[in-house]
Structure 1
């Protein structure tokens, strides 16, 4: 499973010429979740929708609401800064998705918006800088209306609209009754009219790019293959520091995705894998088969290795009925962090290679760190289903304390991405009464880009060249920490009957394979297996009626 190993691009040819279409890096069958998350980069809704999907995400209040970003702008900016920033914190793996593809689409969306803002900046210079007093007057009017109409009180909102109409009337009277003549009078009249002409030009630009962004949004959710065009990620010369920084950032992201270190955060479960919904423990005494002899010495790793080899045969069965897809099998090191931890740390030293714990250290942890503080070893078998929308992970741990061997299997499930990310773009409509048959209503199509949206984009355009200034004026989105693209906006799988069934069904065959492999190792090393076999039969019956619970939330 490519997503389990950090993704692969075997058989894919990349064109690194300037302006190349970067192929979607998700493996076959794992693109739905990646495309859904990537579509957020092209959306045009309010940021509040994203915060409702995860209340741990925060938005810094804007100084002026006229400069406030929409959902797509805030998401693209936040993801690009968080995942490619120079001083960024470690990331949580995004199982079932390809975070690199999401970041590439965020870069592409920012590139499209920057091209739009370049043209809008030209409009603002021509029609705004030369007639600055009039532009400031109109901007002040729209800011006043935006501030007042945004209130919950509808009467106050209506007052905001009335204020805008009143300013328009005063502007007309100003043009008619202007006491000045000559060149000064002509400039003062132009100061009111010319910004309106600039607004009409800006509206055409905004509509053109809005159609492009919406087309990409819709294509991603429809399974289309519109790639993320990011020529700025392709170095043009050896001194192209910006492109090299993006290239290294994407490579670092892929390396972190391939890490075998995960974090347990109490009731939140293992970050990136979801909460633990079930646990089955086989724990019995080690008794030598020969009453007068001893058992052959073996270690936890010997049992784990036998289980690992047997799990590789999961996709094979006696009947040709489809069955399991090829699972991803991985040795995991689980590090405990606090439930309210805002960041995680990556270990360093000779035991670490890149972002992965070396094999000899994994084996040492498996054999020695079974009690007390420290990291723990788990053998994981993972299924990515429903085009990446469902991630089922079953973790196996083997411990030996005194004369007791314990083999524990725990089930984790990460559900589909929040429905916000799977909603397709819809035409903006409004229901109004018919002019003649007023008791009947009809639906009219509204402009794709409203007047206030044109003003907002035009006002923000010159400041996009200075992102910190724009963040100060319009606020910015803070992503939930510890951050991982997949688990931050994952929904519960138990609301979807088929997904829930798949999670429950996977536990039974995996549990039986684990038990049979462990008992075989005991037999080979001269242990009595009767008690283990009896307990295995009991657990085999219990797992058939498995129901999801909250195994990480102890009622104590």
Structure 2
């Protein structure tokens, strides 16, 4: 397969057009790798079409938090050896997000190595005491998770009772000798280990939160992924990871997208508007036939005109430089669980070759098969808004149709843009008790220390942690950007930008098409009238659901 045998060695590094200025959405998604909130929080970011799921585990004490589950799920889904095809993440740099997930996992492994050493010394050598304390914490966690508040209070009371019994055993035992000292140490050693583990976890939590905050503040430390740099020619694991990252970037640049019915073009958003100009091809001179031309001739003329969109008669800012690209659109089912990228001689590194694009444009206009669209894309608001106008030209019998459709992908969900807040509690002052003050609490509480310490020895085999504690199931077909995107219509300026882009693109497409028709001896009077009518329709300020046919 062409996509698999290619060596994704980067060679000379050339900045990709459109990559600059897309940091807001990228950093928002990357910040999820460092978060310490509950995993179920990510369910709030589910959209109408794309829903993540949380697969529960067997033991609640092994449950991952949001950052752990997100990093693990994204790394496996986007770099796994047998992974499915990915949907492009327009407006973001998916490789940067994945690198932050790898960096976050590396930081957690370093923390877990220290926690494992503590568990071995203070836990494994005194295993009966460790199991006793873990049983108490698990029972308390189970009761605290109950809907009954009394059950949660009972869990705390039970933990206190076990602590009192432990103190009694330390003071007086019914027997002496070695086992008396061992039993006392068995009850004390896990507590000492918990104290050491708490210091390790608190330091790690502060580092993670600092990276989380820095990413959302517009800066942040770049993700360091030393495991993706081969140390020698025989370093197969690092070489495989490096090629996985390069393959991810290559797939992001693919010119094939997928149309999933009412879900719209995956990665570009649903179609909110559609405008069509269709008229009969009639010769200017009844005594002569029109010159032979193809759909590609019209598309090429529109392409050249769209490249000049940033230029205008007035110095008013206007459009930024657009990305104009030929797209091959492949149809998939509305509820398809996966997509398949084209393969064969006409495909090279996920790109359909130029001559095949022309063939599809000229000949695949009716019936089954892929279709050709010319797209002009604007990435605005630091990658939070992606506006795509798609243009297709078809000729059936004596009728030429120029269709322009609008797609808009909104900002990532607000869950990903929330900054970390310190954990505080409001307490009364000691003397002036009628006044209150906010006291900052440690980032890691007792039950979180226990959870991290219990998970640490199993870090070497993540699938076991997934089995015991559960995992995050990503929506399919998966793409980082569209999986957690909101609709842009709730944001006034974003909605304005999307609708304002339609009229100029529509008129450029019509003007270029009419010029080609005139040059080839076509009577454009009807086309001109139709273009005027359609130009009036585009003034409608209300976006609709053009992909949902009311039939």
Asked whether the 8 Å contact 2:205–2:444 carries over to 1, the reply is yes
Asked whether the 8 Å contact 1:9–1:25 carries over to 2, the reply is no
Counterpart of 2:36 in structure 1 is 44
Q: CA deviation at 1:535?
A: 1.2
Counterpart of 2:5 in structure 1 is none
Give the secondary-structure state (helix, strand or coil) at the position aligned to 1:476: strand
Q: CA deviation at 1:544?
A: 2.1
Distance (whole Å) between structure 2 residues aligned to residue 185 and residue 171 of structure 1: 13
The equivalent position to 1:79 in structure 2, one of 74, 78, 83, is 74
Is 1:91 the counterpart of 2:83? The answer is: no
Residues 495/227 of structure 1: CA separation in 2 closer, same or farther (3 Å cut): same
Counterpart of 2:309 in structure 1 is 314
Counterpart of 1:70 in structure 2 is 65
Q: CA deviation at 1:191?
A: 0.6
Counterpart of 1:399 in structure 2 is 394
Counterpart of 2:104 in structure 1 is 109
**When the two structures are aligned, how many residues end up with a matched partner?**
539
Q: CA deviation at 1:434?
A: 5.3
Is 1:205 the counterpart of 2:200? The answer is: yes
The equivalent position to 1:254 in structure 2, one of 234, 249, 255, is 249
Q: CA deviation at 1:149?
A: 0.2
Q: CA deviation at 1:276?
A: 0.3
> Structure 1: any 5+ residue segments left out of the alignment?
1-6, 13-23
Q: What pairs up with 1:374-385 in 2 under 5 angstroms?
A: 374-385=369-380
Q: What pairs up with 1:71-470 in 2 under 5 angstroms?
A: 71-432=66-427, 441-470=436-465
Is 1:477 the counterpart of 2:472? The answer is: yes
Distance (whole Å) between structure 2 residues aligned to residue 471 and residue 317 of structure 1: 56
Deviations 1:188-238 (A, max 9, x none): 011111111111101000011111111111111111141111111111111
Deviations 1:38-59 (A, max 9, x none): 0000000111011221272122
Deviations 1:98-131 (A, max 9, x none): 0000000000000000000000000000101111
Deviations 1:317-349 (A, max 9, x none): 111111111000010011010111000011111
Deviations 1:11-32 (A, max 9, x none): 77xxxxxxxxxxx999321111
Q: TM-score, normalised by structure 1?
A: 0.94
Counterpart of 1:497 in structure 2 is 492
Q: CA deviation at 1:437?
A: 6.5
> Structure 2: any 5+ residue segments left out of the alignment?
1-9
Give the secondary-structure state (helix, strand or coil) at the position aligned to 2:386: strand
Asked whether the 8 Å contact 1:26–1:97 carries over to 2, the reply is no
Distance (whole Å) between structure 2 residues aligned to residue 171 and residue 9 of structure 1: 66
Q: TM-score, normalised by structure 2?
A: 0.95
Give the secondary-structure state (helix, strand or coil) at the position aligned to 2:538: helix
Distance (whole Å) between structure 2 residues aligned to residue 150 and residue 463 of structure 1: 24
Comparing 291-300 and 484-493, the one that deviates more: 291-300
Comparing 207-216 and 178-187, the one that deviates more: 178-187
Residues 46/9 of structure 1: CA separation in 2 closer, same or farther (3 Å cut): farther
Q: CA deviation at 1:442?
A: 3.8
Asked whether the 8 Å contact 2:211–2:220 carries over to 1, the reply is no
Residues 497/95 of structure 1: CA separation in 2 closer, same or farther (3 Å cut): same
Distance (whole Å) between structure 1 residues aligned to residue 317 and residue 14 of structure 2: 26
Counterpart of 2:535 in structure 1 is 540
Distance (whole Å) between structure 2 residues aligned to residue 549 and residue 509 of structure 1: 19
Distance (whole Å) between structure 1 residues aligned to residue 384 and residue 251 of structure 2: 21
Distance (whole Å) between structure 1 residues aligned to residue 147 and residue 434 of structure 2: 28
Give the secondary-structure state (helix, strand or coil) at the position aligned to 1:443: strand
Distance (whole Å) between structure 2 residues aligned to residue 555 and residue 133 of structure 1: 67
Counterpart of 2:25 in structure 1 is 33
Distance (whole Å) between structure 1 residues aligned to residue 142 and residue 370 of structure 2: 52
Residues 8/37 of structure 1: CA separation in 2 closer, same or farther (3 Å cut): farther
State the superposition RMSD in angstroms: 1.7
Asked whether the 8 Å contact 2:18–2:323 carries over to 1, the reply is no
Asked whether the 8 Å contact 2:429–2:435 carries over to 1, the reply is yes
Distance (whole Å) between structure 1 residues aligned to residue 448 and residue 431 of structure 2: 32
Q: CA deviation at 1:476?
A: 1.4
Comparing 459-468 and 428-437, the one that deviates more: 428-437
